[in-house]
Amino acid sequence: MTDIREITDLAIDAARGAGEIAMEGFRRDGLRVDLKQDFHDLVTVYDRRCEEHIRERIEERFPGSAIVGEEGGASGEGSLTWHIDPIDGTANFARGMALWAVCIGVALDGEMVSGVVYDPANDQLFWADDRGAFLGDEPLVSRGSEDPRQATVIANFPLPRDLVHFPELALSQFARLSEDYSHYRAIGSSAVSLCWVAAGWADATFSFGANSWDVAAAAFIVRRAGGTYVTYAGGEPQPAERDYENPHYLALIPGARYDLLHDIMREQSRRP
């Protein structure tokens, strides 16, 4: 029988260890930054070192696990799958902005059972399992304003590709968002944004084009904190099963409707 709490303990320990490694390079003079797909997509040696550390810890304690990592790709075929983003928010990390996190989400036979998001620069540990959702030792309860005029929304939207390929749609949606909601912020980390919704520090967050390593841990934390996490494809809400693999998501405090955000999700998820 798999011990979920043992999994969480390992994930927390591995995330903290990776955070220590990352902090060695944070705000370090001469940090080398390489490009992946384009100049918007960055990677550093610390991304790779942190993921190597996490993989080693998993393989020591849970050999045979499947691992899906941003830098190292997929390996293994076990019933446990670990979704790893060693530094979610690499662009922030590389510029010395304290808005990035180590993410480890664990699924058992496809169902999420544990999630850890560690923000080393601020020493904030968000985690969840069958005990609930927590910030350190304190329970997390997602809460906020159901009135859009009092709500804070976090989203990295529109992205450069939105403005290049669909400028009229993106600008129209951004204008409506800015007009209807109290505050709008873009912070450059999906995981941190989701955890802030879980903590009640923001009321909603959404994104398009996410990967499982970006959201698996934090989406689970949102749900365990009582928030709502929904994904879209082809203009329609999708089933909750394995939805961390769906790239288009919206997370909300409990009870919030936020019809405009659902409209944006429907329209954007139809795009090619």
pLDDT in tens, 176-216: 999 999 999 999 999 999 999 999 999 999 999 999 999 99
Range name among 67-71, 188-192, 232-236 with the lowest pLDDT average = 67-71
Asked if pLDDT for residue 40 goes beyond 70, the answer is no
Report whether 214 belongs to an annotated binding site.
yes
Report whether 60 belongs to an annotated binding site.
no
Report whether 87 belongs to an annotated binding site.
yes
Distance CA 34, CA 42 (A): 6
Give CA angle at 204 (5, 173), nearest 5°: 145
Report whether 264 belongs to an annotated binding site.
no
pLDDT at residue number 76: 87
**Higher per-residue confidence, 73 vs 240:** 240
Strands (DSSP E) along the chain, which ranges? 33-35, 42-44, 66-69, 73-75, 80-88, 101-108, 111-119, 124-129, 132-135, 138-139, 152-155, 183-185, 204-207, 228-233, 236-237, 249-252
